[in-house]
Amino acid sequence: MKSLLLIAWFGLSINILSANSLKNLITKPAQWFQSTEAKHKLSNILSFQDVNGIWPKNINTTEYKYDGLKSELQGTFDNSASLNELRLLAKAYNATKNNAYKKAFNKGLQCILKCQYPNGGWPQRPNAKGYSEHITFNDGTMIGIMTFLGEVHKDNDYKFATEKYRRICKERFDLGVQCIIKCQIRVNGKLTAWCAQHHKEDLRPMGARSYEHP
């Protein structure tokens, strides 16, 4: 049990550090994105973008360049992965008009839209298997994606996205809200709570890791 807790704590610590690093960069002024430091960090981020258009979790994607095979990278929406990379790319494109940033952003956004199930839910990653393929509320997956789509629809940072895509983001956000409503569990006829994962098709509560109940 202590080993499991230690592993969980270590993973959480890495995730917090990497997320904070990206958040700090997102708040940089526009002129910073013209700097050598910014170009270096953005180049590192682009190197970690997987073939589907998103990023792996628990890695500080700004600190060094990935030099392995793209096919071996496994991006995810779990643990706040991918969303801050996309936010930073949007800021970078607005400041520099570098089409490489816009292209990477569009690829990531298209991946998010493509991964949404018809019922409005999202899995942890594209082509997921096992419990990762189910609609995921834990680790901020669903809410994180929906918050991001809301930003793309409304915020000025995303004006470079086409009106079509911004409208689609709003539609997909609304579909996600309907999924959340439908997933709420009834006990003796009364609405109660939600589980960490719900079945990707019929929305029933689903188990995941051995130490987590549905």
Tokens describing residue 186: 């009834």
Domain extents in the chain:
2-184
> Going by CATH, does the domain composed of 2-184 fall within 3.30.43.10?
no
Instruction: Give the Cα separation of 178 and 193 in Å (integer).
Output: 15
**Residues in CB range of 12: below 8 A, 6 or more apart:** none
From 113, 110, 121, 115, select the one nearest 178 (Cα to Cα). 121
pTM over 0.85: yes
Whether residue 2 is predicted with pLDDT greater than 90 in this model: the reply is no
Query: For 157-187, how does the pLDDT look when each residue is reduced to its tens digit (9 = 90+)?
Result: 999 999 999 999 999 999 999 999 999 999 9
Query: For 112-165, how does the pLDDT look when each residue is reduced to its tens digit (9 = 90+)?
Result: 999 999 999 999 999 999 989 999 999 899 999 999 999 999 999 999 999 999
pLDDT, position 3 = 43
pLDDT, position 131 = 87
Q: Is residue 88 within 8 Å of 42, Cβ to Cβ?
A: yes
pLDDT, position 8 = 40
Torsion, Cα 72 73 77 78, to 10 degrees, reads 80
pLDDT, position 18 = 54
If one counts every other C-beta atom within 10 angstroms of the C-beta of residue 61, the result is 25
Q: Is residue 62 within 8 Å of 22, Cβ to Cβ?
A: yes
pLDDT, position 5 = 36
∠ at Cα 199 (198, 200), nearest 5°?
Answer: 110
Whether residue 100 is predicted with pLDDT greater than 60 in this model: the reply is yes
Query: For 49-81, how does the pLDDT look when each residue is reduced to its tens digit (9 = 90+)?
Result: 999 999 999 999 999 999 999 999 999 999 889
